Structure 1
Amino acid sequence: MVDGTEIASLDDVPELGSYLFTAEDMFTNEEEVILVRCDDDPGVEAWVNNCPHESQRFDRGDGAAMRDGEIICPKHGSLFDSCTGECDNGEAAGTTLPTVEIVVDSGTVYLTDDDYTYLHEGPIDSDEGPGSTSHLSF
């Protein structure tokens, strides 16, 4: 028995592209996370859905662009290894994607990262209004 929250079936993670879900971090901030296929065991990895260079979303709702086992940043074209999250080219060279811990058991992907709580499939709900807690007025 896996100690985690079920995210999706492994079959739901496309060979090219990504499976997008929303989780809450330990500070109650909503984060988008992507599952992508990887040649290394367990066959899938989870990454925060942002390029660390300029906070660009990889998956904007229709899957992350991928080529030859790498996630492509839509802004500058930097390539991130889908298994390690490392980038060695372009504007994001030298950065690594923030990992989210998962486990695959009997064809099901589970969120096991103590720093995240699964909320729902898909992107952050955008109809909640601004996320700012500022009380400044102009």
Structure 2
Amino acid sequence: MADGTRIVDLEAVPENGSYRFTAKDPFANETELILVRCDEDPGVRAWSNTCPHESQSLDVGDGAAIRDDAIVCPRHGSHFDTCSGECDDGPAAGTTLPGVDLAVEDGEIHLADDRYTFLHEGGTDDDEGPGSTSHLSL
């Protein structure tokens, strides 16, 4: 059995897109992470959902853009290798996405990074309700 909290089944990670989830980081902050397919074992990688160039979310809720085995930043078009997280073009060239350790066993992806605690699928704001509980409209 894999160590770590189960995140999702491997089949839920799209071939050309990402699966977004929220975890608590080493500083007890909620942080968004994305799972993307990778041709190297174990077939998937987890990266921070933030472009290091200007704190742009790579997946804003409908999956990150993937082109030629690279995650594409929607703001400036930098490409991050899905397996290494490295960027070799665009404004983010020379940077690498922060990664998170995973384990895959029997088709299930587990968070295997002691620095992070899985909280829920989706983004940091996905579980927030309306800004007001009032039923009045003006």
The residue type paired with residue 20 of structure 1 is: R
1:49 counterpart residue number: 49
2:34 is equivalent to residue 34 of structure 1: yes
How far apart, in 1, do the equivalents of 2:70 and 2:38 lie?
9
User: Which whole-Å deviations, capped at 9, do the CAs of 1:79-120 have from their partners, x for residues lacking one?
Assistant: 000000000001000000000110110100000101100000
Please, which runs of 5 or more residues in structure 1 have no aligned partner?
A: 129-138
- RMSD (Å), alpha carbons: 1.3
1:61 alignment counterpart: 61
Runs of 4+ in 1 over 6 A off after TM superposition: none
Q: Percent of aligned pairs with the same residue?
A: 63
Which residue identity lines up with residue 69 of structure 1 in the other structure?
D
CA distance in 1, matches of 2:18, 2:3: 24
1:66-105 paired onto structure 2 within 5 Å: 66-105=66-105
Superposition deviation, residue 2 in structure 1:
1.4
**TM score, norm. by length of structure 1:** 0.90
Q: Which amino acid in 2 is paired with 1:65?
A: A
**TM-score of the superposition, structure 2-length normalised?**
0.90
Q: Report if aligned partners of 2:3, 2:103 keep a CA contact under 8 Å in 1.
A: no
Paired with 2:2 and 2:22, the residues of 1 have a C-alpha distance of 20
More helix by share: 1
Runs of 5+ consecutive residues of structure 2 not aligned to the other structure = 130-138
C-alpha displacement at 1:125, in angstroms? 2.3
Q: Quick one: distance in 2 between partners of 1:105 and 1:52?
A: 30
